Structure 1
Amino acid sequence: MVWFEIALVVLTLFTGLVWLVDKLWLRKRREERAGLLEVHEPMVIDYSRAFFPVLAAVLCLRSFVAEPFRIPSSSMMPTLLVGDFILVNKFAYGLRLPINNHKFLSIGEPERGDVVVFHPPQYPDQDWIKRVVGLPGDTVAYRNDTVYLNGQPLSYEPQGTYVGKGRGSEATGSRLLLEQLPGRPHQVLERDDQPYFMQGEGEWTVPAGYYFVMGDNRDNSEDSRFWPEGMHFLPEANLRGKAFLVWMHWDGSAGGVDFGRLGRKIP
């Protein structure tokens, strides 16, 4: 998505500059030269005047209000499915400049359980989505399919066997559990037959200014447990925003649009 941001910023600046220069200097010169004749505007000025307000509005909305993203993988199932189109609150954790993601106004900080979009430290040009499990100062451990938070195991309520559809059918047969993350209980998936990764067991203490993130699909998520040594934590500077709503779902292998997911809040 970085290339789109760059293109949007460049086009907004270009059309805005053309419109401003024309308003301050060029238009007056054309009128003086034309005299009583009809004034003809160059095409680039005409298009710039028409598109600048639209581009500026889109840029401001995407940068400071809400930005759409599409879920490309199954790492956040069952909360988010492949083919979900989501909206991300861009001001939940502060206002950031487009392209370089520099925060110039602090508003809030992630809470435990938030589903966040971010640039992973090992792939800074990509957008990933996971759930915040560990806050700065927390000690997070993962053993025997159980998350331990500051030495205490989370409790899990069995909710049956998961049945996926479309591109998410690979998760069929997983155990569906309600994980009692403090302040934010949510569903997770666990597999006993053929985990996609090694279990990712270990213990990590989250440093100041960082977060420990995990996918809800615990055996199919490249999250903080598996990131390279020295990069297990998500820097606060890499946050893009907080996911809050599914506004569309399209999965061609499952019949196209799933109207039942439209408008669904993200727990």
Structure 2
Amino acid sequence: MASKAKSEGGILETIKTIVYALLIAGVFRTLFFQPFWIPSGSMKDTLLIGDFLFVNKMAYGYSQYSCPFSMCPFTGRLFFSEPERGDVVVFRHPVNGSDFIKRLIGLPGDRIQMKNGVLFLNGEEIAQQPAGVFEEIYEQQGPMGNLPRCENGPVGEGGTCAKSRYTETLPGERSHDVLNIDTNGFGDNTDVFTVPAGHYFFMGDNRDNSQDSRYGQAVGGVGFVPAENLIGRADRIMFSSAGRSMLYFWTWRADRFFKAID
């Protein structure tokens, strides 16, 4: 009998340990950091398909989207801190409920326009300096098997896919690289977007391969993003894999481990 009781007590302690671990993990994920894996090439070359990072959820305070499955029982934001232009932000899509990651370009009241692939902010051209060429192999990338778009296309499988790279400097002297494929797409020449109060304007660094605020929600873009939909700021890449699975260790990108996000 003593042996049976001891066995049952051991099982109970194991269950309690698992429950406590899950509760701690839930609190950690809700209040502090959320894991995020990069599934698409919209933020190249800042973020590559297969980059794995933790999103800092303390950066902008908390909303209902801070909780797993959007279960936080309140609206608006608690302990809100205004994001800064140039931040790389994870947010909840206003319509389809997916988590997106883009760069914050426009704050409330800003006027945004693209002319021939160049960003204009409040009527002023944002400086771009040539920064060489971004090259990658034209092949299926990540678990979704996406093929990259190339400025030098068409490119055969296994060939070198190239895009012009520029360093863009936003007001406040925050710089980041952007990629360009052409200057004639809809996203390269737009009307003026005026960001409403309580909303933000986001763009991908891979400017010709990003469904972002330049595109309305009806055509798959995100439009203006409400402040409530912000989840957190991406600060650092923790791990990166170029393969179809994170288990393919021979495809790991060791040079991107713990890499800061500009």
What TM-score range do you get, normalising by the shorter chain?
Answer: 0.7 to 0.9
For residues 231 and 81 of structure 1, what CA distance do their matches in structure 2 show? 21
1:238 maps to what in 2? Answer: 229
1:211 maps to what in 2? Answer: 200
Is structure 2 residue 143 aligned with structure 1 residue 154?
A: no
Which 5+ residue runs of structure 2 have no aligned equivalent? 142-146, 151-160
Query: Contact between 2:43 and 2:206, CA under 8 Å: does it hold in 1?
Result: yes
Please give the root-mean-square deviation of Cα atoms over the aligned residues, in Å: 2.8
The one of 178, 185, 201 aligned to 2:175? 185
For residues 130 and 83 of structure 2, what CA distance do their matches in structure 1 show? 28
1:45 Cα offset (Å):
4.5
1:174 match: secondary structure: strand
1:235 Cα offset (Å):
0.7
Query: Contact between 2:118 and 2:188, CA under 8 Å: does it hold in 1?
Result: no
The one of 250, 255, 260 aligned to 1:260? 255
Which 5+ residue runs of structure 1 have no aligned equivalent? 1-33
Is structure 2 residue 242 aligned with structure 1 residue 251?
A: yes
Query: Contact between 1:200 and 1:225, CA under 8 Å: does it hold in 2?
Result: no
Is structure 2 residue 94 aligned with structure 1 residue 121?
A: yes
Higher helix share: 1
Is structure 2 residue 176 aligned with structure 1 residue 202?
A: no
Q: 1:122 to 1:200 in 2, by over 3 A?
A: farther
For residues 87 and 40 of structure 1, what CA distance do their matches in structure 2 show? 39
Is structure 2 residue 105 aligned with structure 1 residue 137?
A: no
TM (norm. structure 2) is 0.79
1:243 match: secondary structure: strand
Q: 1:198 to 1:151 in 2, by over 3 A?
A: closer
Amino acid at match of 2:253: D
For residues 222 and 34 of structure 2, what CA distance do their matches in structure 1 show? 26
For residues 261 and 252 of structure 1, what CA distance do their matches in structure 2 show? 14
Q: 1:104 to 1:204 in 2, by over 3 A?
A: closer
> Which segment is superposed worse, 48-57 or 113-122?
48-57
1:27 maps to what in 2? Answer: none
Q: 1:242 to 1:170 in 2, by over 3 A?
A: same
1:257 Cα offset (Å):
0.3
For residues 242 and 176 of structure 2, what CA distance do their matches in structure 1 show? 23
The one of 86, 103, 110 aligned to 2:83? 110
Query: Contact between 1:137 and 1:207, CA under 8 Å: does it hold in 2?
Result: yes
Query: Contact between 1:91 and 1:107, CA under 8 Å: does it hold in 2?
Result: no
Q: 1:123 to 1:43 in 2, by over 3 A?
A: farther
Amino acid at match of 1:201: T
Q: 1:38 to 1:258 in 2, by over 3 A?
A: closer
Query: What percentage of residue pairs aligned between the two structures are identical?
Result: 38
1:174 maps to what in 2? Answer: 163
* Bigger relative CO (Cα 8 Å, ≥ 6 apart): 2
For residues 42 and 114 of structure 1, what CA distance do their matches in structure 2 show? 50
1:55 match: secondary structure: helix
Query: Contact between 1:154 and 1:180, CA under 8 Å: does it hold in 2?
Result: yes
Is structure 2 residue 48 aligned with structure 1 residue 57?
A: no
Q: 1:209 to 1:162 in 2, by over 3 A?
A: same
1:25 maps to what in 2? Answer: none
1:48 Cα offset (Å):
3.4
TM (norm. structure 1) is 0.77
Question: Structure 1 stretches (4+) deviating beyond 3 angstroms?
Answer: 37-48, 101-104, 168-171, 197-200
Q: 1:163 to 1:169 in 2, by over 3 A?
A: farther
